[in-house]
Each structure stands twice: as C-alpha cells, then as structure tokens.
Amino acid sequence: MKKIIALVLSLVMISSFMLPVSLAVAAENATKTPIIYIVGKQNTPVYKLDENGNWLLDSNGKKIAVDNVNQPMGMTREEYIMQNMKPVLGELAIALITKDYTNYIQSLVDAVAPIYEDLVLDENGEDLDAKIDWNYAVQKPVKGAGGFNYYYFKYDWRFSPYDTADELHQFVEYVCEKEGTEKVNIHARCYGSNVAMAYLAKSEAGLYDAPFRLNDLILNTTPLAGYIAIGALMSNSVNFDAESIDRFVTYFLNGHDLFEDPMMEMLAMTIVSAANQAEILGLGTDAMNDFWKEVGPELVSKVALSCYGTFPSYWSMIGDKYYDKAKLAVFGTTEAEGDWANFITKLDNYHNLVGDTDEATGKPLFELLFERCQEKFGMDVAVFAKYGYATVPLFDDSQITGDARGTVTELSLGGMGTLIGETFTEKELEEIKALEDYDERYLSKDNKIYAGTCLFPETTWFSKNLHHADLTQIDPIATEFFLSDGKLTVHSDERYPQFHEYDNGKFVEVGEYDETNDDWSDNPYVVLIRVLTAIFKVLNALLKGEVALPSLGADTVA
C-alpha cells in the first residue's frame, strides 16, 4: 500500500512539474506564426487541356506539361530549339548581304512560336487550353526549421501578380483558419515577391473582406525594382559592349563547367580578353549594334508576342525605369488601344498599384506601401541579395555585380555595387563617405557593396558568389528573422553578418581581399602574358596526351 501511495505521489509531483512545461511548449507552438513560401516563376507545372477542358493525358495516363507538348520524342528541349533555329541562320546570312531583314525576322518568329505556342497567353492575358493542377485544401504543412509550419503557395506563373494576389488571399485565409491564427509570415522568392507585393497592396487598401494578415515579409532575390535583363531587352535598350562581354565571359566561365578541362576554359577566357585589348572585339560589337538598330524595333515586338512577352508576370519584372518604353517597343503605342487593350490593362493594374513612382514624393509606390504597413501594422521586412555575377552583357549597367538576373542595386532595393571583378575606386569611396547618412558598417570589407542606401539597410543581407539559382543558403537567416518576429538585424547577431559567403553550411564574413579581382584585367601586357601562358599549357598537355581537342564528329554537330 505504501508503494502505491508513493507511486501516486511521485506521479503527482512529476505531473505538477511537467504540466507547466508542456503548456509552455504548447503555447510556443500555438503562437508560432506559420510561413507561406512563394516560389519563383516556372516552379509550378502548367498542364494541357483537351477540347472538353479535361486534362490531356499521355499513353501512360499522365498529365502533359505544356513545356513538352511540342517536343518530339527522342529529342531534348535544347535539341528541338536548335533544330528550329537552323533555318534562321540561312536567312541571317542572306539578310546581311542584301540588307533586307524581313525574311530573317519572320524566320526567327517562325522558329520561336512553335516552341511556346501551347504556353503563350492570348491578347486578354488568358489561356483556355492549359492550367495548373492544385487543390491546396488537401495540402499538409511541412514542419521546417525553427518549428514553423511551412505552406507552399502554387500559382500559374504566367498571369498578372495583380490577379494572382486574389488567389494568394484565399490561400492565406485557408492557412489562418487551418492553423487557428490571425497572421502569417511570407517568404517570397524572385517573381514570388511581386505576387506577395500585389497581395500586400490590395490587403492594405482594404480590398479584401478580411483583416490585414501579414506579420513579417522576406523578399529573396526580388525583382520588385525590376531585372535589367528583362527590362532592357523588352524595351529594346540593347547595347553590345566589348568590355562587358570580356568581363561576362571571364566570370561566367569561372562559375560554369562548360569545358571538361579547366585549361580550355582559361584559353577561351584569355582569347576573348586579348580580342578586347586588340580592339577586335570592339569592331564586332560595333557591327552588332549597327545590326540591332536595323532589326531590333521589329524583332522585339514580334518575338516578345510569340513567347514571354505574353506573360504579364514578366512585365511586372521590367521595373519602372523601362516600363513605358517597353510598352511602346512591344505594342507600338502607349495608349491602351487595339487588340491588346485588355492585356495592357492587366499590366497597368499591377504597375499602377506597386511598380510605378509616386509623383508627389518621387518614391516608388512599393516604398510608400512598406512605410504604411510598418506604421499601421508593425510589419517588418527583410531583403536578401546576391552578388559576384554579371548579367547577360547586352545592356548598359550589365557590368554591375549581381546574381546573373539582376544587378545588386535592383536586388537590394537601392544598394550600391561595383563593376564585376572590381572594388570601389578612391573617388567612389570619397563620394560614398560624403553621403549624409554614411555609416562605415554598411561598407563591405571587400569594398564592393555599400548597403547604407538600401531601402532597409538594417535588414538587407548580401551573399557573395551565389548565383540566382542557388536557393536555400539563406534559409537559416530567414528562420532567425521570423523567430525574432522581425527584430533580427544585420548587426544584432554575429552568426549572420550582413556581407557573407556561404561555406560548408556556415556564413563566413566577407574578407578584405578578393581573389576574383585578379581574374580580369584591362592591362594589355597582363592579358598577353595570360594568353601565352594558356596556349603553352594547352600545347604542353596535348603533347603529353593529357587533354584532347573537342570532337567535331556527327554527335557534336547534331
């Protein structure tokens, strides 16, 4: 009997100790705001519909993604594209001789259109023949880092973020009801940022019959201010520049294993640099600019409306700098008239809500939106940018360091970056230090980035030598930001320095010396020595049989 009494007393004592602990844990989990992750474009499959509006199935009964509808069996997508492009090269040769580019432009449109014909939207920005397949009511949350429940928002990435925002609103309401919470956090990546911003703007304006639900927001590699590669191309602001090409080849080849042997990479890089120094490359770019003046105006419009130019999503990533010019280049008018009037309205809906510049203050609309949400709802924002890569060398400013999609200035919403492979000059540093609110803590130790001009300097992190496609490296910082309820800053936790490199799962603060500064040079003697050294190494390896020349056999040609 005594043993039973002792056991009961022990259980009571254990329970009295464990109950508060279990209640505390339960309370912590109950108050942990769920996270909605909005992925970037082309992450959700779009499937083909048959004439009755049902899924189009293959011989195995599987839904057919529209990306693959016109891809012949036994061919990769790249092979199919190259096959379509072969006739274009013949027309180009004729056009260069005759100076008549009509057939060349049409042949290029004829090559592009079949590749995207099942994916493009019509003049109303709609597609009645394809859609995504997602029933979020059966989605189970993923238990992620920090004990958060993660929900992934899927959407048709071709449509306007202004319209997709309504779907996000419904999803947010669903998550809140399922989790029993009044708020959600949102982590938005790439184009997902624009979807989040359209939802934020509509919610703040009271356009939804629901309370304001957003607690904190993370924008990761955001095109909110535009991506230069999209804006400049769609607005026909193309400019071929020898130095830009030289830099791009140097830093692109260093980060992409296009050659099996690194010696061949070095040889290719040095040959391009030598051609630049000898001004041979410049003669080529001058000719390319002259050629583009002839074909660009008509080519941009026709090709854009045969593929990505029919996606309002891409238009939202153009940025205010190029927006009106792009509409003029693609549609031939700044007025919402003609066959594409409804389409242009969809573009303007988002631009006039989020992307435009306020005339009274000169600030972007999204900046004013952030200010209102901070003041009214206490919402905090973090921004993640990457640098160390150059964008495609077709535009002015494409030499500015970025993540290969946008420049660091665009990605960080206002930060200052150097040319790829360089540091701030003494003159540039003097100008930076003369800024009214200059703070040396916002100057990276490698003298490549100044974050003091960012929209959110205290909550903007920069990852060095990370490509746009690298997704998850900043997740630990994002988790900590949400755990702190938006109170984590670039100076509040030494584990997460503002300027860092990601090395074996750890964030290492950027150092003063940057060896990539030695990869490119405008000194002709240095370039000549590099060329001779690269040629010697390749010839020596060939003689020893350590490397073989690239094959030009049937497989390579095909």
Q: What is the longest distance spanned by two Cα atoms in the chain?
A: 110
> Which range marks the domain in which residue 79 is found?
48-129
pLDDT at residue 397, as a whole number: 86
State the Cα–Cα distance between residues 292 and 229, nearest whole angstrom. 16
Domain presence at residue 60: yes
Q: Phi/psi zone of residue 323: left (φ > 0), alpha (ψ -120 to 50 degrees), beta?
A: alpha
Q: What does the pLDDT profile of the chain (558 residues) look like in tens digits?
A: 334 334 333 333 333 333 333 333 333 444 589 999 999 888 899 999 988 999 999 888 999 888 755 566 567 767 777 888 888 888 888 988 999 999 999 999 988 888 888 899 999 999 989 999 999 888 888 988 899 999 999 999 999 999 999 999 999 999 999 999 999 999 999 999 999 999 999 999 999 999 999 999 999 999 999 999 899 999 999 999 888 888 888 877 655 555 666 677 777 778 888 888 888 888 888 999 999 999 999 999 999 999 999 999 999 999 999 999 999 999 986 554 578 999 999 999 999 999 999 999 999 999 999 999 999 999 999 999 999 888 888 888 888 999 988 999 999 999 999 998 899 999 999 999 999 999 999 999 999 999 999 999 999 999 998 888 887 678 899 999 999 999 999 999 999 999 999 877 788 899 988 877 777 777 777 777 777 777 777 776 667 666 555 543 333 333
Domain presence at residue 273: no
pLDDT at residue 21, as a whole number: 35
pLDDT at residue 73, as a whole number: 59
Beta strands in 200-359 (DSSP E): 214-220
State the Cα–Cα distance between residues 187 and 177, nearest whole angstrom. 19
pLDDT at residue 279, as a whole number: 85
Take residue 50 and report the two structure tokens written for it.
């048959």
Domain total of the chain: 1
The candidate with the shortest Cα–Cα distance to 306, out of 109, 143, 489, is 109
CA–CA distance from 323 to each of 16, 319, 366 (Å)?
A: 65, 6, 15
Domain presence at residue 93: yes
Query: Residue 122 corresponds to which amino acid?
Result: D
SS3 at position 47: strand
Domain presence at residue 67: yes
SS3 at position 357: strand
SS3 at position 304: helix
The candidate with the shortest Cα–Cα distance to 241, out of 393, 391, 389, 392, is 393
Cβ proximity of 342 and 125 under 8 Å: yes
pLDDT at residue 530, as a whole number: 76
Take residue 541 and report the two structure tokens written for it.
């390896």
Return all residues near 527 (Cβ < 8 A) that are at least 6 apart: 270, 273, 274, 276, 277, 521
Domain presence at residue 104: yes
State the Cα–Cα distance between residues 389 and 44, nearest whole angstrom. 27
- For the CA atoms of 454, 470, 390, 533, what is the dihedral angle to 10 degrees? 140
- pTM of the model as a whole: 0.87
Domain presence at residue 82: yes
Instruction: Look at the alpha carbons of 541, 547, 550, 553 in this order and tell me if their dihedral is positive or negative.
Output: positive
Domain presence at residue 58: yes
Cβ count within 10 A of residue 517: 15
pLDDT at residue 15, as a whole number: 36
Domain presence at residue 275: no
pLDDT at residue 155, as a whole number: 95
Cβ count within 10 A of residue 195: 30
pLDDT at residue 336, as a whole number: 47
Phi, psi angles (nearest 5°) of residue 38: -105, 110
pLDDT at residue 333, as a whole number: 67
Take residue 23 and report the two structure tokens written for it.
């209640």
295, HSE (Cβ side, Cα atoms, 13 Å): 23
Burial of 336 (0-12, 13-18, 19+ CB in 10 A): middle
Cβ proximity of 516 and 508 under 8 Å: no
Query: Residue 46 corresponds to which amino acid?
Result: V
- DSSP H helices, 180-279, are 192-204, 228-234, 242-255, 262-277
